[in-house]
Amino acid sequence: MFIIDCPWCGARDQSEFSTHGEAHIVRPEDPETVDDTEWGQYVFYRNNVKGWYRERWMHAFGCRRWFNVLRNTASDAIATTYVPGAPRPSLPEDT
């Protein structure tokens, strides 16, 4: 359980948000030309990192807008949140 800083509404309890997995996974431009291996990677394979992880959240019981979170999955500490399209923040130095 943690507090998430919604880029639009500010700090709110995590239970107000829904979570949607790893961020920055791009759907293949032209699915027709992609082979099963690549498609499988896109649909099912995740980095599932123990450490700093960029992921998508949505403020489900608030403004209902999507954004990205940079969170450490080993401690649940959040470094920053950022809106879609914003440059990816670099990983914090320590862990």
Q: Is-contact 5 59, C-beta < 8 A?
A: no
Residue 61 near Zn ion by CB under 5 A:
no
Residue 33 near other proteins by CB under 8 A:
no
Place of tokens 């990983």: 91
Q: How far apart are CA 42 and CA 57, in angstroms?
A: 19
Binding mask 6-25 for Zn ion (x = CB under 5 A): x-xx----------------
Residues that bind other proteins (CB under 8 A): 1, 13-15, 18-19, 21-22, 36-37, 40-41, 43-50, 53, 55, 73-76
